[in-house]
Structure 1
C-alpha cells in the first residue's frame, strides 16, 4: 500500500510541530495560489474561476499519491499556454464548448500519465534534453508575457500563440490603450518586482490584488472601461461526466500527449531539486506519473483543466517550511473558503493586475545564463536550444517542443554514429595505455602494435565508421604492423549488425597476417562475443582482461596469467 499511497510513510511520524510548519506554508502558498490560479486560467482562455477549480481536487489527489513533500501542484503558466495553443487550433464554437474541451483535455492528459505510470515509462522524460527544455521554456515565457498585452493595454487585441503575430497585433491597437488599465498593470509590475527584490517574503501579489481591487471599486474605474474579472460564481465545482467521442479523442490526443510529458517533466525537475536541498530521496518517477495522472483525471470531473507542479509556488512552499503535503491540503481549504464566501470580493479585480502577476511570475523562466554557457561549452547543443526557441516563438508551442526533441535525438544519433576513436600508447614507466594525441611524447608507440579504444556502444549506426577508421589506422602503420588490440572497456553493447561487421573486420585483419586481440571487455560484452559467434573468428585465447596482458601475450604467447583464464573466458554459458 505504501508504494501507491506514499503518505503512509510519513503519516505515523507526523506531529504538532510539523503541522505548525505546514500550516504556515499552506497559508502562504494559498495566498499566492488564489490570484495566480485566476491569472493562469486567463492564459488558458478560460474564465478566472476555473483557475480556482483547478486548485482543489487535483491538489488533494496529489497530496495522497505524490512522492514529493514540498512540490506544490496546481495551475501553471506553461501548461495554461499549451492548453490555449492546442485548443486554439481546433474549430470550437462558443465559450461553453471551449470549456468542455479544456476539461476533456485534462482527462486525456491524466489518462496518458496514468497509463505511462502503470507501464513504468517514467524514463521517457529523459529524451527531453536540457537545451530543449531551456529553449522551449524561455520562448513560452516570452509568448505568455506578450499575450498579456491585451489586458495590460486594455485594448481588444487578437490573441495568438506566435510571437510575431502578438507584436503586430499589439502595435495595430496601440492607439486604443486604456490609460487606467495600463497604469494599474505597470504599477502592479513595479510593486511585485520591487518586493521580490528587497522583501521577497512579503506576499506582494496579494498586495497588488487588494490595492487594485480597492482602487477600481472606490474610483468606479469600470465606468472608464477598465476590464475587471466580473462576477465569479460562488460555490464548489460540481461533478460532471465527460461525453466521449472518437472525434474528440482524435482532435486532442497530440496536445494531451505533449501536456502529459511537459507536466511530468516540470514535476520531476522541481521534485529532484528539492531532493538535492533536503539530501533525502523520496521521488519515485513512475509513482509521480500515477499521482499526476490521477490528479488530472479526478480534477477534470470537477471542472479543472490540466495541472502540474509550479516552480514559484513550490519554492515558496519549501522556503515557508513545508514538511509534508498537509501544507497543500491547507492551501486547498483556503481556496475552498474563497469559493464559498469570498467570490464577490473579486468582482472589481482588474485583469491588468492579473496580467502584471503573470508577467512577473513567468519572467524568471527566461534563462539567459544557460545559453551563454552552452555557447562556450557545446555549440551544437546551443544550436538545438536556439532552434527550439525560435520555432516555439515563430511556428508554434507544440511544434517547438516536438521539433526540439527531434533535433536533440538527431544530435545524439549523429554523435553516436561518429564517436571518439583513439590510438593508445604505453605511458613510459607504467602499465597505463592512454590517447597518444593527448599525452604526446609520454606515450610510447610500438611500430608492430596498434592499440585502439572505441568510446561508444558498437551498433548498426556506427559499425561502418568503426571499420573505416580502424583500417585507416592499420594502413598508416603499414607492413610493420603485427597485431591490433581493441580496448573494449568503453563498449557497453554490440548489436547483431555490428557483430557481423566485427567478424568481417577480424577476418580481413587475419587475411593480412595480423593478429587481433580484445582487452577489457565487460561481462555483458563477453557474453555477446561468445553468443554472436565473434569468438569463433577471434579465438578464445585472444580475449584479455587488460591491455598489458594482450601486449605480453603478443611478445610471448606462453604468458597466460591464471586470472585471465578465470575472467576473460567467462561467459553466461560456463
Structure 2
C-alpha cells in the first residue's frame, strides 16, 4: 500500500506554490485538448477542475496531475465522431456517455484488484500509439493554422490560407521555442500563447477567429444516456479510452514514484481514475488521465502531497471564473500553434530510437501500432498493438536459446562455455546443451529439433543444463520424456540438471519424470557429467582424442586408465 503523506506546514506551503504554478500552466493545455476532442473550450477547463480534484482525492499518487490529455482527447474524438457531428448536442451527450462507461470500467478494474493487468500492454505499444496520435493531432490543426475550411482538401486549404492566421500560429510556435531555449520550459506554452494573443490584439487582427466565451459559472444540461441502442456501439471505444487512460496514468505514477520514493498502489490508482471520470461525466468534462507534462512540472515545483493537485484545480477555477472573457482574447491559430507543439512533444524520439535498436520484434510492434493508429480505427489501435506484441513475444518464446557448451581446457573445474563461440572441442558421445527459455507447448518442436540435431546413434547421450528454464509445461515434459526414451533405445541417456525447484516439482507432478528407464534429473553439471561419462561406449572412448572432461582420464585410452591396467593387481 502507498504510504500516507505527511501534511506539515512546510509541505502545504510547497504544495500551494506548486499547485498555483501548475494551474496556470494547465490553462493553454486543457483548452487545446478540448479543441482536439471537438468540445467547447470550457470543457477542458472544467475537466482540469473536477477530474483533477477528484483523482487527487481518490488516487494513489501524491504528485500526479490527472486531467485531459492529448492522445486521450484524440481517441475520444475518434470514438464519438463516428456517431454524431462534433460540437453538436448529440455529440456532447455521447462524449459524457463514453466517459461514464470508461470510468465504470476503470473503477471495476480497481475494485477487482486487476490493476496489474495494465502491465500486459508494453511500453512499445504506448510509444507507437502516441507517435501515431501526434500525427493525427498535428494534421487536425492544419486548417485552424491556415484559417481554412477543414472540409477542403490539402490543395484547397493552401489556396484558402489566410496569412494573418498563418503568421499568428507560426509566431506562437516560434515564441514557445525561444522561451524553451531561454530555459522557461514549464511556462513556454503559456508564454507563447500570451505572446501570440497580444500580437493579434496589437495588430488589430479582427478577422482572426477566436476561441470564444469560456464560462464555468453554470453546468451544461448534458448527462450520460443509457440506451440499449447506443451503449453497445460505444462499449469498444469506451474500453479503449479506459485502457489508454489507465496505461498513461500507471506509467506516469510509477515514473514519479521512482523519483520521489513513493510506492504506487496500482489498484487504488485505477479506482481513482475511474471515480474521477465517472464524476466528471455528470459535470460536463472530458475523459482524463495522468498528464506527464503537468505532473513533472508539479514535482519539479516542489509538490509534496496531493494538495498540490487540489490547488491546481482551484487555480484553474479561479482564473476561469474571474476572467470569463478570456476566450475572446485567444486566437484559434494561436491555439493551433500550441497544439502542434504539444503534438510534436508526444513523439518520444529517444524511446523510438531505443526500440528500433532493440530488435526486429520490438520494431515490428512499434511500426504496427503506429500504422494502425494513423490509418485504422483509433479505438482498436492499442488492441492491435497488444495483439502484435503478444504474437511477437510468443514467436520469441517459441524459440528459446539453445547452445552447445563445453569445458575450457585452460581453466580448471566445470567452466562450461559456448562451444561454437569459443571454438571448443566437444565430446563425440555426450552432447551438453544449455537451454535459456521456457519449454512449453509453443517451443516443443524447436527444442526437439535442437536435441535431435545434436544427438543420434553415434552420440546417444545428452545433458541439458536447465538453469535458464523458467517453465516446463505438460507438453514440454512429455517431449523431454519421449527424447529420453529415444536416447535410451540407442543405448544412451538424457540427463537434465540445474533445474529450479518449482520446475523440478512441476516435472514430477506431470508424471513424465518417471517414464524413462532411469532417473534423468541431476543436481548440477558436475554431478551429471561424473555420473554419465562412465557409461559411455568404451571403444569410442579408446579412439577419442579430445577428452574434454576430467573423467575422461579414467576411460579407456586415458592416462589414468592405462596406469591402472599396467599396475600390479589391476584386475583384482
TM-score in terms of structure 2 length:
0.88
d(CA) in 2 for partners of 1:239 and 1:63? 26
Does structure 2 conserve the Cα–Cα contact (< 8 Å) formed by 1:122 and 1:286?
A: yes
Q: What is the DSSP-based 3-state SS (H/G/I as helix, E as strand, rest coil) of the residue aligned with 1:430? A: coil
> Contact 2:179 / 2:191 at 8 angstroms: preserved in 1?
no
Match of 1:568?
none
Q: Output aligned runs, 1:171-186, within 5 Å.
A: 171-186=155-170
The verdict on how the C-alpha distance between 1:446 and 1:238 changes in structure 2, with shifts beyond 3 A counting, is same
SS in 1 for 2:64: coil
**Which residue is equivalent to 1:319?**
300
Matched, 1:545 2:523: yes
SS of 2:407 mapped into structure 1: strand
1:432 equivalent in alignment to 2:415: yes
Measured in 2, the distance between the counterparts of 1:407 and 1:501 equals 28
Q: Identify the range of structure 1 (366-375 vs 492-501) with the bigger mean alpha-carbon deviation.
A: 366-375
Q: 1:362, CA displacement in angstroms? A: 2.4
Once residues 38 and 153 of structure 2 are traced to their aligned partners in structure 1, the CA distance between those partners, rounded to angstroms, is 17
Query: 1:197 matched to which residue of 2?
Result: 181
Q: Residue 272 of structure 2 aligns with which residue? A: 291
Q: 2:474 aligns with which of 493, 496, 509?
A: 496
Q: Which residue matches 2:388?
A: 407
Deviation per CA, 1:15-42: give whole Å up to 9, x if none: 1211221111111110111221111100
**1:254 maps to which of 233, 236, 252:** 236
Deviations 1:418-471 (A, max 9, x none): 221111212332223232122323xx5222211112211111111122112211
Matched, 1:466 2:447: yes
**Unaligned residue ranges in structure 2 (runs of 5+):** 536-572
Deviation at residue 332 of structure 1 after TM alignment: 0.8
Q: State which of 42, 54, 77 in structure 1 corresponds to 2:47.
A: 54
Tell me what 1:44 maps to. 37
What is aligned with 1:525? 503
Alpha-carbon distance in 2 for matches of 1:380, 1:189 = 36
Which range moves more in the overlay, 263-272 or 189-198? 263-272
Q: Where does residue 534 of structure 1 map in the other structure?
A: 512
Aligned residues: 533
C-alpha root-mean-square deviation of aligned residues, in Å? 2.2
Distance 2:224 2:384 in 1: 32
1:381 to 362, 369, 383: 362
SS of structure 2 residue aligned to 1:434 = strand
TM score, norm. by length of structure 1: 0.87
1:63 equivalent to 2:48? Answer no
**8 A Cα contact 1:239 1:301, kept in partner:** no
Of residues 12, 20, 23, the one that matches 1:19 is 12
Q: Which structure would you say has the larger Rg? A: 2
| Aligned-residue offset at 1:44 | 0.4
Kept after mapping to 2: 8 A contact 1:519/1:547: yes
Query: Would the aligned equivalents of 1:424 and 1:452 in 2 still touch at CA under 8 Å?
Result: yes
- The gaps in structure 1 that reach 5 residues or longer are 159-167, 558-574
